[in-house]
Amino acid sequence: MANNLSNTKYISQIVELLESARRNVVQTINHTMVATYFEIGRIIVEEEQNGKDRAKYGKSILRELSKVLTKEFGKGFSITNIQQMRSFYLSYQKQQTLSVKSKSKNSSTLSRISENEKQQLQSPKFNLSWSHYIKLMRIENEEERKFYEIESAKNNWSVRELERQYNSALYTRLTLSRDKDKVKELSEKGLIIEKPKDSIKDPYILEFIGLPEKSSYSENDLENEIIDKLEEFLLELGNGFTFVARQKRISFEDKHFWIDLVFYNRILKSFVLIDLKIGELKHQDIGQMQMYVNYYDREMRLEDENQTIGIILCQNKSEAVVRYTLPENNEQIFASRYKTVLPSKEELESIINETT
């Protein structure tokens, strides 16, 4: 029996090692492929710039290049794909040029850098798959594109997750509620969570649950749909959230209360309680959340954990009601609207301007 257990253990270790190696190989191949496509784009652009009639000449060399590469390497080198490589270089060359200049300033003089070191400075480092970059290239705003690139790599977003975050206007929602310095930080570092407010969105976009915006449904219906689509809801909540419980009962004396959803944020080291409300937010709803938060802080929170956060998700709210119900120094309880269909950028601006 002991030998069987030992055999099982060493076999599972070998399987895990091989699976890890396979993942690393795939990742290395992806990164090498992306860097290669960038270089192909660079060569094409430089060759085009030597032509007298760039438009006509450029189209001609792409056609010829596609023919040769397809014959030599098979599928993947259609004119469309080669044009994407060209566009990839054009989209990212400015970013790489700025990176080289920034690094070269740290040296006494650029002339002292060896040719090999110069090549290393100029070699781009891409952390995502080619499919990711095809999506990213379609984002015209450079700062917005850099934000989604950073967040995709940091959170290991799939292409589908990247597309969903972009379609739900994550960057727009974050920038409209931040000052200029914070907006710049988004494109340089991505979303940094240092305090509870950094993790809050208003509105939350819940288009994935499939409920019409102006249809009649109950809070229980909303909760059920969120639980059924928990993976998507966690993605919308953001970094560090893990699911703990639904309809969590808390009791004191002879009274019982149920918290709709309980999460834990590993970055903030805090419990996060979520209450779902249909229609207009009332001051009683805020008072109820205050009670939930107080209970968790006094009965559930450990000494090394931070204060509990409460989020009330509602269809509509009065900023005055929220402002005067909560204390001025409030950093624990937040009321945010949710949308079950994707709003336009103009609608988002209107919603956020009501808040700020």
Residue 64 one-letter amino acid: E
CB 300 within 8 A of CB 262: no
CB 146 within 8 A of CB 187: yes
- Where are the domains positioned within the chain? 2-126, 132-192, 202-355
Q: Which tens digit of pLDDT belongs to each residue from 159-185?
A: 999 999 998 889 988 887 777 777 888
CB 225 within 8 A of CB 212: no
DSSP per-residue letters across 133-148: HHHHHT---HHHHHHH
pLDDT at 289: 96
Q: Which tens digit of pLDDT belongs to each residue from 258-307?
A: 999 999 999 999 999 999 999 899 999 999 999 999 999 999 999 999 99
pLDDT at 98: 47
User: Under 8 Å CB-to-CB from 269, ≥6 apart: which residues?
Assistant: 304, 305, 306
For residues 212 and 336, give the distance between their C-alpha atoms in angstroms, rounded to a whole number: 19
For residues 308 and 283, give the distance between their C-alpha atoms in angstroms, rounded to a whole number: 20
pLDDT at 265: 96
For residues 88 and 257, give the distance between their C-alpha atoms in angstroms, rounded to a whole number: 55
Q: How far is CA 158 from CA 47, 77, 78, 163, 165, in A?
A: 34, 24, 25, 9, 11
Q: Which tens digit of pLDDT belongs to each residue from 59-81?
A: 777 888 888 888 888 888 888 89
Give the chain's residues under pLDDT 50: 98-104, 107-113, 115-121
Count of residues in the chain: 356
pTM beyond cutoff 0.85 = no
258, 225, 261: which is closest to 241 by C-alpha? 261
pLDDT at 46: 83
**Cα end-to-end span (Å), the chain:** 67
For residues 209 and 44, give the distance between their C-alpha atoms in angstroms, rounded to a whole number: 45
pLDDT at 103: 47
One CATH from 2.40.160.40, 3.20.20.70, 3.40.1350.10, 3.40.50.720 for 202-355: 3.40.1350.10
User: Under 8 Å CB-to-CB from 190, ≥6 apart: which residues?
Assistant: 147, 150, 151, 154
